[in-house]
Structure 1
Amino acid sequence: MAGAYLIGLIVMAVSMFISWRLRSKFNEYSQVGLSIGLSGKEIAEKMLRDNGIYDVRVISVEGQLTDHYNPADKTVNLSNDVYYGRSVAAAAVAAHECGHAVQHATAYTWLQFRSSMVPFLSIASSWMQWIILAGIFLLNTTPIPLAIGVALFAVTTVFSFVTLPVEYDASNRALAWIQRTGVANNREYDMAADALKWAARTYVVAAIGSLATLLYYVSLLMGGRRND
């Protein structure tokens, strides 16, 4: 159990470092203007058109790093800094989110699998922590509630690992498009690739953190069963 705590602390420290590094990279590349002069919105619309996608809207949303693609209503949602920005960072983020739209349009397997898990996870996440908490309190009486909570958490861990190929593939599609179309010069391309690399690492750490937490709950469950 002490090992699980140590792993958790290490993952937390790494996560904090990567989050800090990601924000510093995006702040740095947000100050570098894209030589072609296009905004994030224009980059997104161009990438969608170049991939033959005309039924996806590009809209702005509040917040920072809130950018995402919504397959339910087919919208590329860009934060204001990305939507209106004409920087390397804005181009990288906009192209990445359009990478998800391309995945959707081409029925990318991992995205379909991930999307199929969302309805269950949205329901499970509302109850999971309460079930785990109750399971911990009742562990000396019965292991069943904690076992159910662990099973639900295991699904969220699988989801976090399924997210990895989805995110990396979206970045690869974005960078390939940027390079192919020449919307960024070599220096700007390297910056965009660097920014997306750090963004992807946040998902890696999140997946590892989820796995570490799952193993901790499993150790609690196994310990409780041995005490029966």
Structure 2
Amino acid sequence: MAEPKAAAAAAPGAAGAAARAVAHLRAADPVLRLAIDLVGPYEAELRHAPSTFAALAEAIVHQQLSTTVATTIFGRLVAALAAFTPEAVLATPDEGLRAAGLSRAKALALADLAARCTNGEVPTLEEARALDDATIVERLSAVRGVGRWTAEMFLIFHLGRPDVLPTGDLGVRRGFALVTGAADLPTPKALAAHGERWAPHRTAASWYLWRAAELGDLSPAAQPAPVRRNGPKQDAAGQ
């Protein structure tokens, strides 16, 4: 079976929403203006997955692996199943999941995800769209191997939620240290406190901080052209 492809597309009304988000951030925080001016327009896009199960299963496989290795393992996993569904995973012995290249911990996490999807603990995409952010984070974080970081990435990139600030993300913290000129990374608590001024557009602020972390040197002379990137890079501890 071929691997399901996750297409990326701009959310409906994205241009207007992006413009409003950037205008708010520029007015609310002079510190963030540097990143906005250097990076250019906010260009976040949604990643489409056929189900919550598919989105989280791929996230679990990708944890702590390079994109190339994770993509290969995920492709083997999908090919090994009769259908890429929770029921198919539950019907596959642990050895079958391990044969695709999954570690024992990830095989157990995938089985737990599948069980929670079938019993309704993990919401479908349609159900998730009707839930608030905190409820989604709580329900997804109950899954083995799915921490707050993975739940927040699901909110940002699969549901398009506009006000998510992943304060534990190293890229966001590094970007904040760069735009503020701080020698040390902010604590998640300090970042959350500063980020209150970005609400209700903290997702856009996160995107700019990710881009700032990628740029590294924020001096205008070091930037020949605006950066055009969309997703975060998961750090080794990211879950």
Pairwise same-fold verdict (TM > 0.5)? no
Larger Rg: 1
Calculate the TM-score normalised by the size of structure 1. Answer: 0.29
Structure with greater strand percent: 1
Structure with greater helix percent: 1
